[in-house]
Homo-oligomer: A and B are copies of this chain.
Amino acid sequence: MNFGSTPLDDLRLPSRVTIYEVGPRDGLQNESTVLPVTIKAEFVARLVDAGHTVVEATSFVHPKWVPQMADAEELWRMIDLTPGVRYPVLVPNSRGLRRALDLGVRDVAVFGSVTETFSRRNLNRTVDESLEMFAPVVADAREGGLGVRGYLSMCFGDPWEGEVPVSRVLEVATRMWRLGCTELSLGDTIGVATPGRVSAVLDALITSGIPVGSIAVHFHDTYGQALANTLTALHKGVTTIDASAGGLGGCPYAGSATGNLATEDLLWHLHGLGIETGIDLRKMVDTSVWLAHHLGRSSPSRTVTALAG
């Protein structure tokens, strides 16, 4: 059934958006079921077949910390790299970067936090210490010609600290940008943001001189706010939106099964607004239904649920 598309005339929105697909890394990392590497490789291939041009594939983190990603190198070798598609890999430190470079990875990401509490709990480091750790990683990656994404988590609220000042986000974002990151992803890691806060944070960063084309947003749907926040970010000119196939990945820091914004809910939103993504919604729904079967649970995505029947 065709419901058409209608642009939103009174807000300037981009005509095309890049969806940065985080399902294989951020999504699967936060699922309790560990999938066989062959399923993971098929998952990545299905995402690219559906039209994705950026798929964060895995994480070169020590298996002691993230056992779900212990097969990172094996998975990487199984991926049939498609020209024109980027397959970023998360690297926690210089050792992870070396592993990535040895395998020919062309895009990496580092994962930081704007709040001290989450930085200490997740990275076992202060924010200052984490930036010191990232500095050589970013420099070496850039020297090797790689793209480097800097994740900034807890930009819109922290489960231990509560409200996070916009000035704090600006400070850490500026420092990550000056390290040489080519893209910053602003994370609402616990999904508490609403549009006013999203607008304020984006205004601060853009006004400071960080190009809006280098800013991505990473919303979680824990409180159902992810698409309203996305609309606000589009209005600010953001053209890279993080999402996870089927809403894969729970939210370990809030008592909810709902984590990442589901790619399918985002596709319904963008396509309804007449914004191009190059991604086939039907193929994504089929992929999420297939993967949910392997994970032994249903997808939390509203759109997958509505269209799977």
* Residues of A that sit less than 8 Å from B by CB: 1-10, 156-157, 159, 162-163, 191-197, 199-200, 221-228, 230-232, 251, 254-258, 262, 265, 268-269, 272-274, 301-303, 305-309
Q: Please state if A258 and B8 are interface contacts (CB–CB under 8 Å).
A: no
A163 contacts across to B, CB distance below 8 A? 2-4
CA distance A162 to B222 in the complex (A): 30
Inter-subunit contact B195/A8 (CB<8 Å): yes
Q: Is the CB of A268 within 8 A of B225?
A: yes
Q: Is the CB of B309 within 8 A of A197?
A: no
Q: Which residue of B lies closest to A163 (CB)?
A: B4
- Residue pair A196, B7 in contact (C-beta under 8 Å): yes
Give A262 to B301 CA distance when docked, in angstroms: 16
Which residue on B lies nearest to A265, using beta carbons?
B224
Q: In the complex this chain forms, how many copies of it are found?
A: 2
Q: Which residues of B sit under 8 angstroms from A301, Cβ to Cβ?
A: 224
A1 to B200, CA, bound (A): 21
| Chain B residues, Cβ within 8 Å of A228 | 227-228, 230-231, 269
Contact check, B227 vs A224: say whether CB atoms are below 8 A apart: yes
Q: Cα distance A257–B304 when bound, in Å?
A: 12
Q: Which of A5, A159, A221, A227 has the most CB of B within 10 A?
A: A227
Q: Which residues of the partner chain B approach A306 to less than 8 Å between Cβ atoms?
A: 191, 222-223, 251, 254-256, 258
User: Cα distance A306–B227 when bound, in Å?
Assistant: 17
Q: In the complex, A255→B1 CA distance in Å?
A: 14
Taken together as a complex, chains A and B put the C-alpha atoms of A221 and B269 apart, in Å, by 12
Q: What are the residues of chain B within 8 A of A262 when measuring CB–CB?
A: 224
A3-B163, A162-B1, A268-B223 in contact; A305/B196 too (CB < 8 A)? no
Q: Which of B6, B10, B223 contacts A194 (CB 8 A)?
A: B6
List B contacts of A10 (CB < 8 A).
199
With the chains together, A94 CA to B302 CA distance in Å? 38
The verdict on A8 contacting B265 (CB below 8 Å), with A227-B228, A302-B224 known, is no
Q: Which of A157, A194, A195, A309 has the most CB of B within 10 A?
A: A194
Also in contact, A223 and B8, with CB within 8 A (given A194-B268, A256-B309, A308-B255): no
CA distance A265 to B227 in the complex (A): 12
